[in-house]
Amino acid sequence: MTLPHPRHRLALLLIDVNRSFFDPAGLHHYPEVGQVLTPLRSLLAAARRGGRLVVHAREAHRPGLADFEQGKLPRHSVIGERDCEPYPGFEERPGEVVIAKRRFSAFFATDLALLLREQEVTRVVVAGVKTNVCVRATVTDAFAHGFRPLVVREAVSSNRIHLHAASLEDMERYMAEVIDLDRAVALLVGEHGG
């Protein structure tokens, strides 16, 4: 039996870093999303260097089956299609976890909370897209499950700038700590506690 590693108490949770958003040909691409690629790369490198648990939460819908979300959104992120693939450079490595999510939150109807508890994770560094939708829903559920979410200001994005700002303000006020990239990197590599 493999026991949890103390360095896993802080985990990195990447939300929807896939071609749908980040590839210019993706169904949900928006130009501003490119601004978070460098911060996301820095976080992933820091988590790997620090031996942290890395979770890639990616939207993934089953082909040919009804999906509740399609009532509000067009067909997207279908398993087996290019749109659902991780954005190049963000493919999972051995030991990293992929959570396939069918709703906005990475916690809803997945085993993410169980996984994090089994690894004795207490805090999650959250980054990805979109701030006002999947990031916020995931942070809300992380908080509700008793984890301490840390949202990295430079590593979240939305095509709705006013909702991005409002969501950061609300998350900071009610359920998370919004931190800057340098602090997040230092935490992930273990320079300031673990």
Length of the chain: 194
The yes-or-no answer on residue 84 being catalytic is no
Segment (H or E) for 185: helix 181-189
Which of 13, 78, 126, 134 is catalytic? The answer is: 134
Would residue 194 count as lying in a domain?
A: no
pLDDT digits (tens, 9 = 90+) for 88-105: 999 999 999 999 999 999
When computed from its CA atoms, the radius of gyration of the chain, rounded to whole angstroms, is 16
86: helix, coil or strand? Answer: strand
Would residue 121 count as lying in a domain?
A: yes
Would residue 172 count as lying in a domain?
A: yes
Would residue 35 count as lying in a domain?
A: yes
Q: Which residues, including other chains, have CB under 8 Å from residue 140's CB and lie 6 or more apart?
A: 105, 175
- The number of distinct structural domains making up the chain is 1
pLDDT digits (tens, 9 = 90+) for 126-163: 999 999 999 999 999 999 999 999 999 999 999 999 99
Would residue 1 count as lying in a domain?
A: no
> Looking at residue 78, which CATH number applies to its domain?
3.40.50.850
